[in-house]
């Protein structure tokens, strides 16, 4: 159903964009209109091939077809937003028709410029975003604990072992005491690449490496992906908690977005966090939902991802309707909420305007002392 809706939306944007291209007076001569619409048809068929065959199959050809399709979708989204704005602006120039073709041509050029910027941002290594977080009940001896959190890796046909190895190198340079994976660690279609296991095994920290599921871990059978990471030493927190050290609790819940879609939404944090009120408590939840419930249940720090910070502006303006806590730092009823923009990418290899990130947290004790 998701890909059906995505295909309908992409088809409408595709037609809208090519309608503007075909309307340019410089392309109205001879066979040019037919060439433009033939190109539109061929690109649309290639998009369909990449969306369905590329997504559901494996191999180099399928991977490239999927990438072309997703990148084209990103271009269509940017082009739709720009040309819609151009159409609205055109209403102010109806009194001077000769300017309209140039305005529309400028919109198409601006689309290409923004697509170039988005590809550049999407290709950049994620930045390190540092937060100093004070936890009132954190034991003084744990003051200065370094935590690294990665979200939305989306490992699969587009991002593989080579990309993850570069992220592991970034993590290693931070010398973390604790490493956390905040969900959507895998794209969720097809078996995970075996070469990922030794790269995951490089993620080592004195307090351990822990992961929670995202919505993509619930697409199909996720057992192979979870087994691969477990063999690399990563522990999964699926509606459970552990004591990292006396006075410091780490808890994780399965993805709340998927639970909501399946009609299983409830106060998930009350059960997982029961009896932790005297400890410093960190909770991992891929989707930044039930935030007030987490705070009421005793969480001091909640780490989430899922939103990608909108990934391609202005999509975040729509996304924020469903996920009010889109990205960054929030204080909710005495609890700190950090929502990552994501370390990897979903769909197009594009970001507009902000790059991906790796969260680097330094925990501070609120108990005073030296």
- The model's pLDDT over 28-45, given as tens digits with 9 standing for 90+, comes to 888 888 999 999 999 999
pLDDT at 5: 84
Instruction: State mean pLDDT over 92-106.
Output: 85
- The model's pLDDT over 350-360, given as tens digits with 9 standing for 90+, comes to 999 999 999 99
pLDDT at 156: 87
pLDDT at 263: 64
Task: Determine if the peptide bond prior to 127 is cis (ω within 30°).
Answer: no
**Residue 221 pLDDT more than 80?**
no
**Residue 369 pLDDT more than 70?**
no
Read off the pLDDT band of 1 (50, 70, 90). low
Lowest mean pLDDT, pick from 13-17, 124-128, 144-148, 153-157: 153-157
- Distance between CA 131 and CA 336 in Å, rounded? 11
Query: What residues form DSSP beta bridges with 245?
Result: 248
- The model's pLDDT over 267-294, given as tens digits with 9 standing for 90+, comes to 778 889 987 778 899 999 999 999 999 9
- The model's pLDDT over 293-325, given as tens digits with 9 standing for 90+, comes to 999 999 999 999 999 999 999 999 989 999 999
**Residue 164 pLDDT more than 90?**
yes
Token representation of residue 234: 């990563």
In this structure, how many other beta carbons lie within 10 angstroms of the beta carbon of residue 143? 18
Query: What residues form DSSP beta bridges with 360?
Result: 130, 148
- The model's pLDDT over 57-80, given as tens digits with 9 standing for 90+, comes to 777 888 899 899 999 999 999 999
pLDDT at 184: 94
- The model's pLDDT over 130-150, given as tens digits with 9 standing for 90+, comes to 999 999 999 999 999 999 999
pLDDT at 60: 83
Mean pLDDT of the chain: 91
pTM: 0.91
Read off the pLDDT band of 368 (50, 70, 90). low
Read off the pLDDT band of 55 (50, 70, 90). confident
Read off the pLDDT band of 370 (50, 70, 90). very low
pLDDT at 266: 67
96 or 320, which is more confident = 320
């Amino acid at each position: 159903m998701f890909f059906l809706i995505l295909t309908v939306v992409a088809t409408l944007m595709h037609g809208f964009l090519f309608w503007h291209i075909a309307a340019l007076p410089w392309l109205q001569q001879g066979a040019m209109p037919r060439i433009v619409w033939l190109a539109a048809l061929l690109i649309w068929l290639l998009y369909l091939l990449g969306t369905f065959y590329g997504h559901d199959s494996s191999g180099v050809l399928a991977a490239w077809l999927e990438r072309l399709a997703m990148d084209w979708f990103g271009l269509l989204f940017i082009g739709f937003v720009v040309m819609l704005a151009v159409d609205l602006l055109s209403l102010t120039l109806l009194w001077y028709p000769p300017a309209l073709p140039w305005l529309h041509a400028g919109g198409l050029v601006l689309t290409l410029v923004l697509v170039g910027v988005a590809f550049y941002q999407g290709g950049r290594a994620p930045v390190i975003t540092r937060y100093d977080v004070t936890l009132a009940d954190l034991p003084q001896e744990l003051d200065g604990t370094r935590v690294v959190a990665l979200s939305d890796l989306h490992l699969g046909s587009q991002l593989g072992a080579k990309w993850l190895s570069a992220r592991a190198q970034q993590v290693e340079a931070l010398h973390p005491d604790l490493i956390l994976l905040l969900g959507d660690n895998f794209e969720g279609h097809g078996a995970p690449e075996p070469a990922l296991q030794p790269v995951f095994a490089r993620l080592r920290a004195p307090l351990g490496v822990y992961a929670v599921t995202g919505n993509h871990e619930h697409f199909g059978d996720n057992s192979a992906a979870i087994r691969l990471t477990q063999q690399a030493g990563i522990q999964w927190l699926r509606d459970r908690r552990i004591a990292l050290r006396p006075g410091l609790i780490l808890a994780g819940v399965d993805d709340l977005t998927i639970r909501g879609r399946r009609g299983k939404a409830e106060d998930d944090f009350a059960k997982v966090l029961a009896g932790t009120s005297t400890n410093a408590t960190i909770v991992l939840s891929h989707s930044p939902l039930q935030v007030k419930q987490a705070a009421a249940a005793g969480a001091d720090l909640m780490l989430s991802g899922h939103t990608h910070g909108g990934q391609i502006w202005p999509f975040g303006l729509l996304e924020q309707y469903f996920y009010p806590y889109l990205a960054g730092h929030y204080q909710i009823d005495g609890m700190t909420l950090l929502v990552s923009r994501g370390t990897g990418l979903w769909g197009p290899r594009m970001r507009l305007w902000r790059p991906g990130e790796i969260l680097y947290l330094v925990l501070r004790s609120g108990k005073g002392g030296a």
